[in-house]
Amino acid sequence: MLAAIVLYPGFTSLDVIGPYEILGRLPDAEVVFVAEEPALVRNDLGSLAVNVVATLADVTEPDVVLVGGGPGQMNQMFNGRLHEWLRTVDKTSAWTTSSCTGALILAAAGVLRGRRATTHWAVLDLLAEFGVTPSKERVVIDGHYATAAGVSAGIDMALTLAGLIAGDDVAREVQLLVEYAPEPPYDAGSPDSAPAAVVEKVMKALSA
């Protein structure tokens, strides 16, 4: 199984590194990071960079495609070269997936039209502008598309995918190996549970 994870400047690291840790541990899995050109691609915080060797042109028939989100996603909404690649590989991929606002890139490329999908809660409604039905679920499977809500939900999506690809027992083994048993100290992981003042502050930060 070949999984291709798309990187671009300003990506959010956990969006892609979380799924990378899960998918890369499946039997016979090969995970590659791809970008338009070979480059040292920096994340949204600027302090982490991935040396991407494979280009979009190098990876033409991945079994799994993953697009993460991040502030740099805005620059990819009209990226014709990336969108063309996504439409092309989507024709043969077993799974086309996203975490966080990566769903907006897939939507802008046209591959999610007529499908249900999720993304970060702050931009969930934008999916409808591309003919996609927004869902508040943490992970949405529709056909061969798998989308995850904000950032950390990418791990849940990748585990769901692991079960569908390699079976539930293998997915459980991977979950145990990485000790994914979240017990957050606060109940502020969604706008429905977070205090109103916290939601307001985060919204201001996102719109800055």
- pLDDT per position as a tens digit, 14-71: 999 999 999 999 999 999 999 999 999 999 999 999 999 999 999 999 999 999 999 9
What's the pLDDT score for residue 208?
78
* Residue 99 pLDDT exceeds 90: yes
Sheet harboring 139-142: ordered strands across? 54-55, 30-35, 2-6, 64-67, 95-99, 145-148, 139-142
Domain that residue 44 falls in:
2-207
**Do the Cβ atoms of 56 and 28 come closer than 8 Å?**
no
Whole-prediction pTM value?
0.97
CATH number of the domain that residue 140 is part of:
3.40.50.880
The tally of domains found in the chain comes to 1
Q: What is the pLDDT of residues 134-154, one digit of tens each?
A: 999 999 999 999 999 999 999
Per-residue exposure over 38-67, b if at least 16 CB sit within 10 Å of its own CB, e if not: ebebbbbeeeeebebeeebeebeebbbbbb
Which residues are part of the catalytic machinery?
A: 100
pLDDT of residue 107: 98
Question: Amino acid identity of 129?
Answer: E
